[in-house]
Structure 1
Amino acid sequence: MTLIRILWVGLAGLSFGAGIVGIFLPLLPTTEFMLAAVYCASKGSPRFEAWIRSRRYVGPLLENWEKERAIPRRAKYIAISMIFSSAMLLLWHLGQGWLRWAIIALLVVVAVWLATRPEPSSSPE
């Protein structure tokens, strides 16, 4: 394996890991990191790309986003719930000031963006 391919696979692994963390942290975008992981893996290891696409949670998200720029309803509910939880924690634990409200405003913008994304046409929900 050449150094370039190793670097592509390494970037794919980092992107995949960040995407997994993004499932639980609302400020890290899961889909974008998974798209980056698939792209990098396609350059370095088609087998790794296929493995990423075959994951039960990730595969359908990637397919829906690539085909329709759509996010399933369940994923929206989970993401917006996590954003709301994060906002509540910030309100309770971050001191008074502009930073608190700037972060809350950013979370609201992300939640609105998520809520306005279309749902996949093949989604049973």
Structure 2
Amino acid sequence: MSARSPFVRSLYIALAALCFALGLAGVFLPLLPTTPLMLLAVALASKGSTRFALWIRANRFAGPAITAWEQEQAIPRRAKVTAVIMIVISAVVMALIIEALWLRIGLLAGLSTIALFIVTRRSPRRR
């Protein structure tokens, strides 16, 4: 099947819509990563519907972070702070709930790596 077939295009659009919806839910749920889901939504929408991809980029909530990442591989300061706060909350909750030490250490190491990646990205230039 080619990327131009209606089925494949519809699949890309459906997956993009799912990622976008999960990204929006991630604004309120600490364990769902909003920005990566929005970036995936744009990538999928770009293959299925240019109009949908443009709409996501123009979205007042997701658009600026997506554009900053696409153009500069930068993460806005507010997004960094929010992400790190959510990661810390998630880490504390997991540390309190998970009993298996090896799993707790592995998850905390993974979350720490993600937080370090986020913090070390530059902030977008002012325009």
Matched, 1:41 2:71: no
Structure 2 unaligned regions, length at least 5: none
Show structure 1 runs of 4+ deviating over 6 A.
Answer: none
Taking structure 2 as the reference length, what is the TM-score of the superposition? 0.84
Taking structure 1 as the reference length, what is the TM-score of the superposition? 0.85
What residue identity is the alignment partner of 1:43? K
Partner of 2:15: 11
Q: Distance in 2 between matches of 1:26 and 1:110?
A: 14
Tell me, what secondary structure is at the counterpart of 1:57? Answer: coil
Moved more, 42-51 or 77-86: 42-51
Matched, 1:120 2:124: yes
Identity %: 46
With over 3 angstroms needed to count, the CA separation of the structure-2 counterparts of 1:53 and 1:65, relative to structure 1, is same
Map 1:1-125 onto structure 2 (within 5 A): 2-25=6-29, 28-122=32-126
Structure 1 unaligned regions, length at least 5: none
Counterpart contact for 1:24–1:82, Cα < 8 Å: no
Length, aligned pairs only: 123
